[in-house]
Structure 1
Amino acid sequence: MQIQVPFALPNLPDEYGINQPADELVDGINLRSFPFTVTDLPKAAVTVAFSLIDHDTIPVVGFSWIH
């Protein structure tokens, strides 16, 4: 299985971070998760689970954001 993102890691583009335009925030919080593509899944795969825990959000929202 391969997981790919359309930007260079480890930097997250502004549109997926805290620098989201104010009119796109919900109660001051960016709810937009970054895009990713999953390829090369085993043929027998029925379910895929992928999570990212973003500890950089603690100063912003008070907890680690789970994408």
Structure 2
Amino acid sequence: MKSKTNVVFTLAAAALLGVFGYRSLAKQTQPIEVNAVTCTQEHIRSVGDAMQRSVLSAQCAKAAQH
């Protein structure tokens, strides 16, 4: 009985991971313009999506090196 419960929980967790993974990979990020206003810490922190926030942060760091 305990092993059946573990299998059910494992399958449910795998299904949830699959759904969230697919949603995050299928989402298209919008191009973000890199300038002095968008590269402030406040603006980067205000970006709601973690993927867009990391892309913006990386682009700002790359622009600061040049």
Please state which band the TM-score falls in when normalised by the shorter chain. Answer: under 0.3
TM-score, structure 2 length as denominator? 0.25
- Greater helix share, structure number: 2
Structure with the greater alpha carbon radius of gyration: 2
Taking structure 1 as the reference length, the TM-score comes to 0.25
Whose relative contact order is higher, 1 or 2, with alpha carbons under 8 Å and at least 6 apart?
1
